[in-house]
Amino acid sequence: MKQGIRSKRSIAKFLGSAVLFALPALAMAAAVPGEKAPAFSEVDAAGKTHNLKDYEGQWLVLEWFNKDCPYVKKHYGSGNMQALQKKYADADINWLTVISSAKGKQGYLEPAEALDVAKNHKLKASAPFLLDSDGSMGRAYGAKTTPHMFIINPQGEVVYAGAIDDNDSANPAVIPDSANYVAAALDASLAGKAIEVASSRAYGCSVKY
């Protein structure tokens, strides 16, 4: 009898461990090109709530951000990211910048701090940061790095996911000679053409969940 009880406890312990090991895989999903974009509802630093459904019928770019990341500094210090934001805002494309850093981790910002950082970084045409401190939006999209870029079409489908460009150096001097995947995908889409590169390996600092 005791043997049976011990066996049941061993099985229960094994199953419990299996569930624990499975949780990280279940928690980190991924936004895959060709599939529907994961729904989200996040509050920005100014207190406004943004939902995916708010952008139905519109183009939307999502960008993951960490002010202390050298790769983010590469694209913002050079003005490259702001130029992209402005260019495509002028073409009626929405752009949201997301901070998924957890409280106490690198890149985390309180709302007032985020408003100051948005002003100092001269964000163009973007909300003053979606504050995803619980990481729910980042995990739903499988955001792994800062920056990590996603493009969603008016039908609510992901059409691009990955790096901003093809050069993973943190040196801003390489930007002029880099192939910008985000710009290429948006330009092709607006021209009614197929996107040549729909996914790529994202590079940058890890998102600090």
| pTM summary value | 0.85
Is the model's pLDDT at 148 over the cut of 50? yes
Mean pLDDT value across residues 166-192: 97
Domain limits, the chain = 1-28, 31-206
b/e code 44-79 from CB counts within 10 Å (16+ = b) = bbeeeebebeebeeebbbbbbbbbebebbebbbebe
> What phi and psi values does residue 2 have, to the nearest 5 degrees?
-60, -35
Reduced DSSP (H G I as helix, E B as strand, rest coil) percent helix, strand, coil of the chain, to 5: 40, 20, 45
Is the model's pLDDT at 61 over the cut of 80? yes
Compare 30 and 97 and report the one with higher pLDDT. 97
Compare 28 and 101 and report the one with higher pLDDT. 101
For residue 25, the model assigns a pLDDT of 37
Instruction: Kindly give, in sequence order, each residue whose CB lies less than 8 Å from that of residue 54, ignoring residues fewer than 6 positions away.
Output: none
Q: Cis ω on the peptide bond leading into residue 147 (within 30° of 0)? A: yes
Which homologous superfamily does the CATH classification assign to the domain defined by 31-206?
Glutaredoxin (3.40.30.10)
Amino acid at residue number 174 = V
For residue 126, the model assigns a pLDDT of 73
Mean pLDDT value across residues 118-141: 91
Q: CA 84, CA 115: separation in Å to the nearest integer?
A: 20
Is the model's pLDDT at 137 over the cut of 70? yes
Q: Specify the pairing of strand 94-99 against strand 149-152.
A: unpaired
Amino acid at residue number 25 = A
Compare 82 and 4 and report the one with higher pLDDT. 82
Q: At what angle do helices 80-89 and 181-190 cross, to 10 degrees?
A: 10
Q: CA 154, CA 63: separation in Å to the nearest integer?
A: 17
Query: Nearest CA to 78 among 131, 111, 44, 122?
Result: 122
